[in-house]
Every structure is written in C-alpha cells, then in structure tokens.
C-alpha cells in the first residue's frame, strides 16, 4: 500500500484586477505595483475530531527550530503538516494513519485531484437539488454503499468520504466496531461539498509526500527507512472521564494498552535519537507513561461531547524529548 506520490498540481494564481477608479482614472499603474493575490494556502480538507488547527498557536513555539524530514503517524486532518508546509521548511514528509478512508483521500488528492473534484461535483448536483428529506435519503444511500461490501475505486472512495464528511452531523467521522462510518445526516443549508480551490492547494502541498496506511506500531521502521528527523504524534486521546471519550476514528478504538504501546514507540524513537512531540489529554495514565520526558500544558477548547454546563477549555499535555532537540 506504500506509495510516494509524484504528481505536480499547480495551484491557480489570481492576478491583480484592473478597475476604473473614481474620476475615470484606471488603476493600471497601481496594478503593476501590486503583488498578485496569494494562492489559497493549503490546509486541512476534512473536518476531523481532535484537529489541531485551533491549537497551532500554542504548539508552534514548542516545535524544534529546524525540521527537514517530518513524519505525522496519526495524520487525520493534518493541521500540523499543513502548518509546517506553509512555513516552507520541509524537505520531505511522510503522513500515515490507520484509517483507510482518510489515507485514500490523501492519496487521491495528491495524485488525481481533478478527477476527485469531478466526482464531488456529481455528488453535489445530486444532493443539492433535493429538499431536506431527499438530501437525507441520498446521504444514507451513499453511507450504506460501503467499500467493505462492494468494489469501489480510490477516487469514488475518496469522494464518498469527503461528501459524507461535509454533509454528516458536525463533520464527525465515526466508525463502529466493524469499521463502518455511522454518523447521521447533518442539517447544513448549503454545505461546501466540492471546495475545488482548497483541494488543489492541498494537492500542491502533498506533491512528493509519502502517504501510507500504517499502524503506529510500525513507525520506527518508517523513521529508519526514510531517515526522518521529527515526529509529531497526535493519537486518539485517553479519556479524562467516562463521558469525554471520543476515539472511534477507526473501527478498533484506542485503548489504555494502545497508549502504553505508543509510549514504548516514543521511547524507541528517543533511543534512536529522533525528536518527537506528542499531544494527549492531561491525565494520570499519560503522565505516568511519559515520565522522564518534558511535559507542557496547553489549553484546548472542548470540542466533542460538550454539554452546556461543561463548556470552557481543557488542559492537554505536550510531551517532548527536548534533550534531543
């Protein structure tokens, strides 16, 4: 399943427009001096629970100053990857996750973004022309056509995933134990189903990136093979209470035992001299697993299972092996 993408997907740029200024003057002279409007910057193209966009400001100062060969083994929406890519520092990146739908979406965007946009346009046409009941029926029809049961090529699978992600309740990608997406239909008046510019910008950022379905337990081999020098790990968080848990990104969930095995992987990275940074909830188990490493606390807005009486920020830990930084 491993593959490196090599496609090149130029992002369209807009030039400065000429307009007639008050008094009949054209702004031609001024226009020559204006820089072209920047191309839309690449960012996450899926809504993903635990996405790090809103935490980047707090996480950025904790990153090593130089990162050349980057890997993100729980990539999800990829907020950190797109952030680092935007800073222009990366020479190489590897993005992996255990969720086949999200990895397929990355691979298709990297390699065949225009075909994906066409497939999404078709979903958009069929969906938006209906009333609410018709939209719900179409959503459930797409949801029930599951790639586990029927043959589906990568483009169709990626389009299905993005369509469901944009039209489901709260953009929540949740799977049951047998790996079936089971979030109900959402209620958006005009959901952004295609987002062609955003997808093309992501395709540009993903050009040449190694994208692979991979369990975190096989991370050290990848780090060795590709000589990677910094790892950002953002696993499903350990629940801080019985009601705060969301770790159903992929069929199997993520148990306390998985957290301990991940701790062992981080210790191995440290022995290999590789710098890492990990996010998780601030709770006794996580503090125990990472004892001996540097731990900082950041404040995260509560996102899932938020009840009216439980709003406000929650503490999260950021664990780093700073002696290797």
Ligand X SMILES: C[S@@+](CC[C@H](N)C(=O)[O-])C[C@H]1O[C@@H](n2cnc3c(N)ncnc32)[C@H](O)[C@@H]1O
Under the rule (CB under 6 A), what is the footprint of ligand X?
48, 50-52, 73-74, 76-79, 97-99, 102, 215-216, 234-236, 249-250, 254
| 318: alpha, beta or left? (left if phi > 0; alpha if psi -120 to 50) | beta
Choice between 51 and 111, CB closer to ligand X: 51
* Alpha-carbon distances of 63 from 23, 109, 235, rounded to whole Å: 52, 27, 17
22 near 140, Cβ under 8 Å? Answer: no
Per-residue DSSP letter, 96: E
266-297 in b/e burial notation, b at 16+ Cβ within 10 A? Answer: bbebbeeebbbbbbbbbbebbeebbeebebee
Per DSSP, helices labelled H in 78-229 are 79-87, 100-128, 132-144, 154-167, 196-206, 219-226
């Amino acid at each position: 399943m491993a593959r490196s993408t090599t496609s090149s997907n130029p992002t369209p740029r807009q030039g400065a427009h000429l307009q007639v200024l008050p008094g009949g003057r054209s702004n031609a002279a001024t226009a020559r001096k204006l820089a072209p409007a920047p191309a839309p910057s690449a960012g996450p193209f899926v809504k993903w629970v635990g996405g790090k966009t809103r935490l980047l400001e707090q996480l950025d100062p904790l990153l090593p100053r130089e990162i050349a060969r980057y890997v993100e083994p729980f990539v999800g929406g990829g907020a950190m990857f797109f952030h680092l890519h935007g800073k222009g520092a990366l020479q190489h990146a590897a993005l992996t996750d255990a969720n086949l739908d999200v990895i397929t979406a990355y691979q298709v965007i990297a390699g065949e973004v225009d075909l994906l946009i066409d497939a999404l346009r078709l979903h958009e046409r069929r969906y938006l022309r209906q009333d609410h009941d018709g939209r719900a029926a179409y959503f459930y029809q797409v949801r029930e056509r599951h790639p586990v049961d029927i043959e589906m090529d990568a483009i169709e699978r990626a389009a299905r995933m993005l369509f469901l992600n944009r039209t489901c309740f709260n953009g929540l990608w949740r799977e049951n134990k047998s790996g079936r997406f089971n979030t109900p239909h959402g209620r958006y008046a005009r959901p952004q189903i295609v987002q062609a510019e955003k997808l093309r910008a992501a395709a540009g950022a993903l050009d040449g990136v190694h994208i692979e379905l991979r369990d975190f337990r096989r991370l050290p081999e990848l780090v060795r093979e590709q000589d990677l020098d910094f790892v950002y790990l953002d696993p499903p968080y350990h629940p801080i209470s019985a009601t705060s848990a969301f770790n159903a990104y992929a069929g199997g969930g993520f148990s306390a035992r998985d957290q301990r095995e991940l701790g062992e992987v981080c210790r191995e990275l440290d022995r290999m001299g590789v710098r890492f940074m990990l996010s998780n909830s601030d709770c006794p188990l996580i503090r125990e697993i990472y004892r001996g490493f540097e731990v900082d606390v950041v404040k995260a807005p509560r996102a899932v299972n938020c009840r009216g009486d439980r709003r406000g920020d929650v503490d999260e830990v950021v664990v780093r092996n700073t002696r290797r930084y």
